[in-house]
Chains A and B, each alone.
Chain A
Amino acid sequence: MRLVVLVLTVGIFSGLLALFIGGFVIRVPESLTASPATVAQGSTPAQNAFIHLETVASVDTAITFPRPGDPNPSWVSYLPTTILKVPANSTVTVQIDQEDGASGLRNPFWAQAQGIVGGTFHMTYFDDQGNPQEGDFSSIPDPASAAHTFAIPDLGVFVPLEGISDAAPAGSMNVITFSFKTGKAGVYHWQCFVPCGAGTIYGNGGPMQTLGYMAGFLIVQ
């Protein structure tokens, strides 16, 4: 009886060990797990989505989307939320009301817009004299004038957001509009690439490290 228990125990443990090691090292051949590629049907109507966001120097100064009761009213933030839901295989148009001043890009490479429809974004802004201007841009002229970026690395989307001019009237905003295409369903992380966490080392603390302020998820479904 004891021998049976012993043999069984040793057997079970050896089996588990083999499974453990095997599962780690041996890959299941792709031919066993592959499924036929799905092709988008021509009859599927093109879906479109619209996202309206606001970027503010501090949550308590919000104009478009006030968020009373926020635990960090003095933090820089995207509003009203950073959890965004959009349909798969569609064109998403984004409008960002940008009210924050310039912070500057750590890597000037992000001054160039990438991965958006047509390669350009539309922007209404204020020049150095405080006069309203408007135009289509593929980049911002000075990397130091960026306030934030809207970036979804896994989708290759990177859009610089010009800081509001010092000469602009109080309470004004730069309005940036652009579109990008979503592919298959999934959860993609998006974030700001300007180190804009005021009062933290290299600007990378606080709102840069907290979900709901300078980063979030794009849920494509």
Chain B
Amino acid sequence: MIRPNRTHALRLLIAWAVLSVIGVVIGLQLSLPPGSQSQQSIDQSGLLKLMIILSTPVFVGVVLFILYSVFAFRQKRGALEDGPRSYGNLRLQVAWVAITAVVVLILAGIGISQLNAAANGTNFTSSSAPALATSGDVGTTEGHALQVQVIAQQWYFTYRYADYSGVESLHLMLPVNANVVFHITSTDVLHSFWAYQLGVKADANPGVDNVTYVTTLQTGSFTVRCAELCGIWHGAMSDTSGAVVSQADFATWITQLQKDNLSIPLPPYAPYYFPSPRVKGT
């Protein structure tokens, strides 16, 4: 003879298990940002997938319990009266806190390690990074990552390639299968460099050389936006012409850029550029 509480629990458990599996399966079909154009975006999408796997059962459990209670323990017609007294359940409470703590700590640990990897470039050498090539391709060996400077200005980003005598470009071009080091700075106010599909977002501050890393894996275009409110045209500070291209196309492009840059009086390449004067005129 099964006690009525057991019946409720059993029903809930079965419904929870079935709906959770369905929820996770549906959740994993979603196209999660930022995609798979770089190792960093794959890592970030993976983290979101993990969060779907862990949080869907929690969400389903809470909502199911509330809805089930609303229907199963509803006050029938008749006089209003107090419900049965309920007492705390120590085992349930301990389990509840412990499971929550474990889930949150696992996510925190994974998140911190990924943040750390992104901040220090250690994900360059992770096992899923592109094979270290011995050929002359750009950015494929750890010691020779492609150095790209991102210069923010109200209201446009330009890019300088330190390895190619500091030539400057209107659009961000990167070779595929390359380790890239971004040096991000600003010539005026605070901006933020956000290359959406590459999974890169980092502050662009005047007088600061902010470093972040990306490993490109797929060719294709990407969007660059400013992610820090920086003035009246902040919303227009974007460029959809960024692209990851083949190593050969990159070589052709950078050669042409060097020719085009010959007549431009660029300042020497520096980690950052101080604007002057601080207050213009009177």
A and B associate: yes
Find out whether the CB atom of A201 lies under 8 angstroms from the CB atom of B279: yes
With contacts A106-B188, A106-B275, A204-B188 known, is A199 near B153, CB below 8 A? no
- Docked-complex contact A195 and B188, CB < 8 angstroms: yes
Beta-carbon contact of B278 and A27 below 8 Å: no
Which of A25, A141, A154, A200 is in CB contact (< 8 Å) with B279?
A200
Query: With A26-B31, A106-B187, A139-B264 as given contacts, are A114 and B170 in contact (CB-CB < 8 Å)?
Result: yes
Measured between C-beta atoms, what is the minimum distance from B204 to chain A in Å?
13
Are A196 and B267 in touch, CB under 8 angstroms?
no
Which of B81-89, B119-127, B228-236 binds A?
B228-236
For B157, the closest partner residue in chain A by CB is A153
* CB–CB A197/B170 < 8 A: no
Partner of B153, one of A6, A112, A193: A193
Chain A residues 13-27 with CB under 8 Å of chain B are 25-27
- What residues on A are CB-neighbors of B232 within 8 Å? 209-211, 215
A130 at the interface (CB under 8 A from B): no
User: Is B67's CB under 8 angstroms from A10's CB?
Assistant: yes
Residue in chain A with minimal CB distance to B74: A3
- Judged by a CB distance under 8 angstroms, whether A136 is at the interface is no
Nearest-neighbour CB distance to chain B for A58, whole angstroms, equals: 11
The interface on chain B, measured as residues whose beta carbon lies within 8 A of the other chain's beta carbons, has a size of: 33
Q: Are B168 and A103 neighbours in the complex by a CB distance under 8 Å?
A: no
Q: Which residues of A contact B31 (CB under 8 A)?
A: 25-27
Q: Mark B119-156, 1 if CB is under 8 A from A, else 0.
A: 00000000000000000000000000000000101111
Quick check: B265 and A103 within 8 Å, CB to CB? Answer: no
Residue of A nearest to B264 (CB): A112
Query: Which one of A108, A156, A209 lies within 8 Å of B231 (CB-CB)?
Result: A209
A79 to B236, CA, bound (A): 22
Min C-beta distance of A113 to chain B, whole Å: 10
Nearest opposing residue in chain A for B230, CB measure: A204
Q: Which residue in chain B gives the minimum CB-CB distance to A201?
A: B279
A contact residues, total (Cβ < 8 Å)? 41
Complex Cα spacing A193 to B154, Å: 7
Is A56's beta carbon under 8 Å from chain B? no
The reply to whether the CB of A124 lies closer than 8 angstroms to some CB of chain B is: no
| Residue B32 CB within 8 A of the other chain | yes
A204 touches B156 (CB 8 A): no
Give chain B residues whose Cβ lies under 8 Å from the Cβ of A6: 70
Chain B residues with Cβ below 8 Å from A202 are 188-189, 275, 278-280
A25 to B170, CA, bound (A): 31
Q: Say yes or no for B109: interface residue by CB 8 A criterion.
A: no
Interface of chain B, helix or strand or loop or mixed? loop
Min Cβ gap A128→B in Å is: 18
Cα distance, A146 to B189, chains bound together (Å)? 21
Q: Is the CB of A107 within 8 A of B151?
A: yes
Q: Does residue B281 face the partner (Cβ distance < 8 Å to A)?
A: yes
Of A6, A107, A141, A158, the most chain B CB neighbours within 10 A belong to A107
Give complex CA distance A138, B266 in Å: 15
Q: Which residues of A contact B187 (CB under 8 A)?
A: 106-107
Q: Identify B239's interface contact among A153, A198, A215, CB under 8 A.
A: A153
Q: Are B170 and A198 in contact (CB under 8 A)?
A: no
Which residues A156-201 have CB closer than 8 A to chain B?
Answer: 156, 158, 189, 191, 193, 195-201
In the complex, B55 has a CB within 8 A of chain A = no
CB pair A197–B280 under 8 Å, yes or no, is: yes
**Closest 8 CB pairs between A and B?**
A198-B281, A203-B280, A189-B236, A112-B264, A25-B30, A109-B168, A209-B232, A106-B187
Can you list 29 A-B pairs, Cβ within 8 angstroms, ordered by A? Answer: A6-B70, A25-B31, A25-B32, A107-B153, A107-B187, A108-B265, A109-B264, A109-B266, A112-B264, A139-B264, A141-B265, A143-B265, A153-B239, A191-B155, A196-B280, A198-B280, A199-B281, A200-B279, A200-B280, A201-B279, A202-B189, A202-B278, A202-B279, A203-B279, A204-B154, A204-B231, A209-B232, A211-B232, A215-B232
Besides A25-B32, A141-B265, A201-B278, 8 new A-B residue pairs in contact (Cβ under 8 A), listed by A number: A10-B67, A106-B188, A106-B273, A108-B266, A109-B266, A139-B263, A199-B282, A208-B154
